[in-house]
Amino acid sequence: MPLDKLKDALKKTRDVLNMRVEDVFVPGRTLETCDLEILEEALIAADVGIEVTEEIIEAMKSAARAQKMPPGGPLEMLESELLCMLEGAENLEPWRPTKKPHVVLLVGVNGTGKTTVAGKIAKRIKDSGGKPLIASSDTFRAAANEQLTIWAERANVEIVQSVSGADPASVAFDAVSKSLSGGYDAVIIDTAGRLHTKVNLMEELKKIARVCGKKLPGAPHDIFLVLDATTGNNGIQQARLFDEAIGLTGIILTKLDSTSKGGIALAIMRELDIPVKMVGVGEKIDDLVDFDARSFIESFFES
């Protein structure tokens, strides 16, 4: 993961954590005399989630009782407890298209960054020598097609456009057909923002996915939930409901650069069995990085 970009993006989260963590871990004090409540508050403020926070505090208390303090002190212990917790939940392989064509469906609530992510992923595939196609299955919002067209131009890739009011599933079908006949490596399908609680809109997503599979068995190969990190813990509920409705293969966490609540990535991985695949670290086309738990956690603590 390009470390500098990630570190820059996590600055706000790091500041929240470090400020409080410094208050907790006064040099020379043992963990037993440190104020773990401050740490608890800091972790919750960074949206690590109650469950993860409680586990961490317990683990640190018991390590302290057993006098198992690492050479780097409590801070190192915190870091290694976080890492240990995420073992097995790590995203081991950076995401790449593995099928040809590899069909990716982007879903999420309104304004999370789906259209931006479509452009960013297309650019990344193009940069690595692939031939991606993007498709506008957002036929709901008036300017959606234009917005995606701008991203297609920026990424210098082809687009299957939509007409306002058209059936989003038919756009997806056309895109998958075109990708098969045109020798494309990947199809990135952008969809309209929708609330996870709206049953009919979730049905529409299922239909889009079904139609892709009709044209190309096995498609869509990935269904990524694009989740706005600034929404905090409500994101967990969004992920749960989208997953129940259509089955997610991963999460793309956006706007990490504009929040101090980057801990949400840890909560997601711990509480849901869905990997965070990539993170959005800005509004520009190259501001998308692969997620790696180790670098992520290290970026919480190192400036």
Residues at the interface with ligand GTP (CB under 6 A): 108, 110-116, 138, 141, 144, 193, 226, 254-255, 257-258, 280-283, 287
User: Contact at 8 Å (CB) between 194 and 168?
Assistant: no
Task: Compare residues 145 and 249 and give the one whose CB is closer to ligand GTP.
Answer: 145
**3-state secondary structure (DSSP) of residue 302:** coil
Would you state the structure tokens that stand for residue 287, as one six-digit string? 């501001």
CB of 73 to ligand GTP, least distance (A): 34
CB of 141 to ligand GTP, least distance (A): 6
CB of 116 to Mg ion, least distance (A): 8
The H-assigned helical ranges of the chain are: 3-9, 11-24, 36-45, 50-65, 74-85, 114-127, 144-155, 168-181, 199-215, 234-246, 264-271, 293-301
Picked from Mg ion, ligand GTP, none, the partner binding residue 100 (CB below 5 to 8 A depending on kind) is: none
Task: Compare residues 62 and 110 and give the one whose CB is closer to ligand GTP.
Answer: 110
Contact characters 97-116, Mg ion, x per CB under 5 A: -----------------xx-
Q: Does 139 bind Mg ion (CB under 5 A)?
A: no
Evaluated on CA atoms 265, 266, 271, 276, the torsion sign reads: positive
Task: Compare residues 19 and 163 and give the one whose CB is closer to Mg ion.
Answer: 163
Picked from ligand GTP, Mg ion, none, the partner binding residue 113 (CB below 5 to 8 A depending on kind) is: ligand GTP
Can you tell me the distance from the alpha carbon of 19 to that of 42, in angstroms, rounded to the nearest whole number? 9
Closest residue to ligand GTP, judged by C-beta, is 193
Task: Compare residues 112 and 238 and give the one whose CB is closer to ligand GTP.
Answer: 112
Q: Does 145 bind Mg ion (CB under 5 A)?
A: no
Task: Compare residues 77 and 187 and give the one whose CB is closer to Mg ion.
Answer: 187
Picked from Mg ion, ligand GTP, none, the partner binding residue 259 (CB below 5 to 8 A depending on kind) is: none
C-alpha distance from residue 27 to each of 73, 165, 214, 297 (Å) = 9, 63, 62, 22
Contacts of 237 (CB under 8 A, 6+ apart): 196
Task: Compare residues 31 and 159 and give the one whose CB is closer to Mg ion.
Answer: 159
Determine which helix (DSSP H) or strand (DSSP E) holds 133, and give its type and residue range: strand 132-137
Bond preceding residue 101 cis, omega within 30 of 0: yes
Closest residue to Mg ion, judged by C-beta, is 115
Picked from Mg ion, ligand GTP, none, the partner binding residue 280 (CB below 5 to 8 A depending on kind) is: ligand GTP
> What's the chain's length in residues?
303
Task: Compare residues 103 and 256 and give the one whose CB is closer to ligand GTP.
Answer: 256
CB of 110 to ligand GTP, least distance (A): 4
Can you tell me the distance from the alpha carbon of 64 to that of 29, in angstroms, rounded to the nearest whole number? 12
Picked from ligand GTP, Mg ion, none, the partner binding residue 284 (CB below 5 to 8 A depending on kind) is: none
> Over the range 235-250, which residues count as b (16 or more CB within 10 Å of their CB) and which as e?
bbebbbbbbebbebbb
Interface with Mg ion (CB under 5 A): 114-115
